[in-house]
């Protein structure tokens, strides 16, 4: 639920950036990750793109993390290679257990307009 509106096969990277926050703000934002409401916090920004470079003008080092993995100081560039990985859909039983059954991670779950 870090980027709750992400679609796994749309060819775009969804990136969440949390600005400079206090310890209390960080804890509040973290507590909202499970249900996706953290994206409404003032210092949270979600961006999309096929190629994304994250950098900072700060004199202090800013460190990147991806999926909980430490990446080191920015800048970092990410490029989406659309449809390179084959994604297999899990069974509805597994999706329900993990809380993803009605999630919009797969575009097939999004009603056609």
**28 in a structural domain:** yes
Q: What is the CATH number of the domain that holds 69?
A: 2.60.200.40
**72 in a structural domain:** yes
| pLDDT at position 77 | 92
Span 32-48, pLDDT tens digits: 877 777 888 888 888 89
Domain residues for 50?
A: 13-82
Structural domain count of the chain: 1
**4 in a structural domain:** no
**111 in a structural domain:** no
Q: Indicate the average pLDDT of the chain.
A: 80
Model-wide pTM > 0.75: no
Taking the CA atoms of residue 9, residue 108, residue 47 and residue 2 in that order, the dihedral angle to the nearest 10 degrees is -100
HSE of 113 in the Cβ direction (CA atoms, 13 Å)?
2
**6 in a structural domain:** no
């Amino acid at each position: 639920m870090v980027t709750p509106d992400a679609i796994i096969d749309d060819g775009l990277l969804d990136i969440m950036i949390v600005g400079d926050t206090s310890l209390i703000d960080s804890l509040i934002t973290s507590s909202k990750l499970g249900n996706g409401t953290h994206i409404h916090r003032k210092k949270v920004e979600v961006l999309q793109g096929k190629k994304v470079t994250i950098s900072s003008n700060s004199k202090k080092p800013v460190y990147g993390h991806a999926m909980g993995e430490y990446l080191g100081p920015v800048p970092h560039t990410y490029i989406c290679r659309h449809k390179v990985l084959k994604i297999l859909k899990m069974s509805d039983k597994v999706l329900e257990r993990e809380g993803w059954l009605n999630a919009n991670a797969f575009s097939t779950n999004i009603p056609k307009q």
